[in-house]
Chain A
């Protein structure tokens, strides 16, 4: 799964028909293709090459901009309760 791969610069691309591509590069140049079939099943295809990996590298998760947002400053109703 992606979180086990120690690398930076994870990009996420929405493909056709539910196809999801996660591209991870920097220390590891790797492409994961995750296909969701109509029954909700998952197929993962991994292609890439190992370059160099260090212990302290962490996945830097980035979700690409999906679109321009508006009206989200007050998203969600605020409810306050006395603490215990």
Chain B
């Protein structure tokens, strides 16, 4: 067995492989950057000395990943840039391709064999917005095909996999890879109904974590970056104590209600493909937006009231919802390598 998994998310990039003992090794970074004019070399050199991931290009420097988030959080006047939007490459960010290329290659530092298989996550097209998942998939393929390991120059063989199907591979082995995977990313919610590991249908919904940030920022007058950071501390099972907490929890409720409504519509629209099952279907929920404590209970409650056209069993959230998709991608690569 061997290979790699890669979750190319709107907010998080996660690479996954196994070490020699069979343990999963994940590498995660935030899929964001900020642009700084290089007028002041002193500040730039200090950042360099501090080990901040940087690109220097002419009279401009780019800070990458978590460091960019921290700088934008501390200095609200700095605009945080995102290479991806709504689950796909951001068409309005002209440097998105090159910067994602650098960040993604930097997370792949353990390729030790020529042609190692890498499965990377791609979204399905959205049912509530116009998206171009095919184009996005080809951009990611180009990035992975351009990868060369150092110092050997090994290439990887990239293969796309639906991100919600990867979730089923990661978490539903005990259910013979049968069930529904729902990945709550920053840009999209992706859903896959799989039976014995084969996708019966997939679709996605635009408006997830970024939508919560935007709406809560609008409601409170805070910056989106600030809300995004505060969102990491939220507990959806607790009463809000501040205006910001109230706004985030309210928007979470609204997002889950809208999402479940759209999931219901999607299941009805795909009813011609619905497989006959003699038992309730378990649902796996993961992705960064599902990380707050209480998310699974809230989702299960809204789901129960929605009267979906299929019988739902348990709603399961793994302990590490941020890493499940990448792990599922790795499991797909390992199975394809056998």
Contact = CB atoms under 8 A, between A and B. Distances in A.
B146 interface: yes
Given A14-B94, A66-B102, A77-B27, A83 B107 contact: no
A82 B95 CA distance: 37
B98 A63 contact: yes
A63 B95 CA distance: 12
Given A69-B55, A76-B106, A83 B22 contact: yes
Contact of B25 (A40, A42, A59, A79): A79
Contacts, number: 118
Give the size category of A's interface with B: 20 to 34
Interface stretch (B137-145, B180-188, B200-208): B137-145
Interface string A1-42: 111000000001010011010000000000000001010101
A77 B55 contact: no
Contacts of B18: 83
Given A42-B132, A76-B29, A83-B24, A70 B48 contact: yes
Contact of B91 (A36, A59, A67, A76): A36
Contacts of B146: 61-63
B323 A79 contact: yes
Contacts of B195: none
Contacts of B28: 76-77, 79
A3 B54 CA distance: 30
Given A2-B142, A3-B141, A75-B107, A81 B54 contact: no
A71 B65 CA distance: 11
Given A61-B142, A62-B146, A69-B55, A81 B64 contact: no
A78 B94 contact: no
Given A61-B146, A68-B55, A71-B54, A18 B94 contact: yes
Contacts of A12: 97
A36 B89 CA distance: 11
B23 interface: yes
A55 interface: no
B154 interface: no
A61 to B, nearest CB: 4
A76 B67 CA distance: 11
A65 B302 CA distance: 49
A72 interface: yes
B103 interface: yes
Interface string B38-61: 000000000010011111111000
Interface of B is mostly: mixed
A66 B55 contact: yes
B15 interface: yes
B211 to A, nearest CB: 18
A72 B102 contact: yes
A78 B94 CA distance: 29
A61 B28 CA distance: 25
A40 B90 CA distance: 8
Interface in B274-300: none
Given A61-B142, A63-B146, A76 B323 contact: no
13 contacts: A2-B138, A3-B138, A3-B141, A14-B95, A42-B132, A63-B101, A68-B56, A75-B53, A76-B13, A79-B28, A80-B23, A81-B320, A82-B24
Interface of B: 13, 15, 18-19, 21-29, 48, 51-58, 62, 64-66, 91-92, 94-95, 97-99, 101-103, 106-107, 132, 135, 138, 141-143, 145-146, 173, 320, 323, 327
Given A69-B53, A76-B65, A81-B323, 14 more contacts: A3-B138, A14-B98, A18-B92, A20-B97, A42-B135, A62-B146, A66-B55, A66-B95, A66-B101, A66-B102, A69-B55, A69-B106, A77-B28, A82-B24
